[in-house]
A and B are shown apart, each in its own frame.
Chain A
Amino acid sequence: MMKIRKMVTLWVLATLLYVTVSPPAMAQNTERDGTDATFPFGGFVSYMMPCTCSAPIQWFFMTPLLLGDAPIVGPLSFNPLKVLPFNGLFSGFNAMPGNWLLGRYMPGMQTCQIYAGTACIILPVLGDITAIGTSEKK
């Protein structure tokens, strides 16, 4: 009896949290018609900067950043509250400078804003990380 009660309570709380949180998150991560709009990436984080106006998002500069055949360099944004290592595919979660990352990103998202003394400005990125793993264990 207690078990069922706990299960029902947990289910209700989980649903409450999911439904409340999911509309904006879904709008950013996937298309409503079910098509995944994310792409794979790999790369080395050489520099990290907090997006002070859009905390807790971080700005990762990747050297190199591997999106296709040729290595490039460039920044991605990363929200540790939104990107969680739930999936075993993306294990060894430790997104910090000095580590190699493997994951998926959504191109075009501009979520990083930094404070520039009197105003908040968008710091352009190549995309927003939606799933992540690293070569290092925590």
Chain B
Amino acid sequence: MDPTNPLIVQSDHTVLLEVASPRASSARDALSRFAELEKSPEHIHSYRVTPLSLWNAASSGLTADEVTTTLTEYAKYDVPQSVLFEIREQISRYGRLRIVGNNLKLVLSASSAGVLAEVCADKHVRSLLGIQINETSYHVPQGSRGALKQALIRLGWPAADEAGYETGEELQFDITASLRQYQHDAVRSWWADGSAAGGNGVLVLPCGSGKTVIGLAAAAQAASHTLVIATNLLAARQWISELKSKSNIDPELVGEYSGERKEIRPFTVATYQVLTWRDPNAEEDADLETRHPHLRLFRDHKWGVIIYDEVHLLPAPVFRATAEIQAIRRLGLTATLIREDGKEPDVFSLIGPKRFDAPWKDLERQGWIAPATCSEVRVDLPEESHIEYAVADAHNRYRIAATTVSKLTVLDLLVERHKHDRVLVIGQYIDQLRAVARRLDAPLITGQTSERMREKRFDAFRSGEISLLVVSKVANFSIDLPAANVAIQLSGTFGSRQEEAQRLGRILRPKPDGEQAHFYTIVTRETVDQQFAANRQRFLTEQGYAYQIVDAHEIGRTGSSQTA
């Protein structure tokens, strides 16, 4: 027991890391091999040792002794025996069930008949298995591979999937842009030397840290036909343009599979929208591919890698389709592995475990994402709205508070303050955004704006032709606006934490001169707006961003002094 040590191991399997400790850095390196980073506020980061994280560590060759030694060596206080016991127990479970064979014949093999009997006692698992070969192995039907892994993980018996992957058709290209160290690390941890132990999983990196490049590098590493699934058309086109500009790929080999075009090429970028498009003529109880005909894209071509952009948004039909294509390498990319629907375990079992996670503030310190200040500007609800607000139902209360005219005055001041910057004004309510666009004489992009017009306006913003853009939540994800350095949030989807993080992400692209990014969120004081804001900020504060709270009149003062 050494009070200067950086770790506190809790009996609920969380591990607290004191950032200020001299040994914090080495402890973090050791810890991150078998624990998941949960949050990283300014002083104490929280990790969690989960069965999944331990199985993951075991799959990479870490032993129970190494894990327990790390904990006891760095722990400030005695490590609870229950934690050490659990670590031994979970690590010993990994590898006792293995899925082996090849794409023609899959076998679930157990280290002992007892383990197999235990998992087979579960009806669901049994239904996913074929005939029994001997007392320690069963045939596994090809289509059951993903579902079986899901079911086994639920039972607490992870199967080591050693059946490998289909190689897919060959596609050779190189990334011409140079990769940063963390991008290299991320790709390497996903690829795992091409072994069956890697080739799947999720990389969690902050917005603006170059996830697209990592995806492209992963595809180049796999050197086989690649399918990328992006959130929307605009994002898909961004992938294509990034690919063309940062690699030596023949543009002829790149295709777009969207509502507008249905190109299937060796490197194809599709959208969630087109894949989940539902055939209106299909029966309700028809099979998945009859209802969502474009999901055939997964199987109709011999893909070597499938990349899921913004994996935290992966829709249910795509999940189900993914369960059936476990023989293809998979890569998920996201900034926040928070799913508002709580489906994180499905992401883990179908796309794969988290392979890499970089704290936002670490990348900021290294200069890979722009340093950002977050401010919450508080305005008052005008007196005339008090009664309306007080008698409104819960849903309308937020609308009244979020769209109050008081915000516009502050918005004016902020826009004035940042008149030399590239400013995004982001909001939830279209009426409010229209009013703002009129007031500021700025172009507006909402869901109703045509793709062509969106692209034109984003391009104008990127090129510097316009410096102020008003956008709805369509710009939350995957929109690359490197020049943007100020975001002003007027309203949002209630208390969504990942939306807040994504919106901050819009301005985190590193600026040429290391310039600071500014994220403002304008909040109506003493209303539900303020409560939602507190919840929205939780993810970012856990990532180490401290919100500065300022009053509207202070903006006026500093604003006027600046302009003066």
Judge: A and B partners, yes or no.
no
| B interface residues with partner A (beta carbon < 8 Å) | none
Q: Which residues of A contact B (CB under 8 A)?
A: none
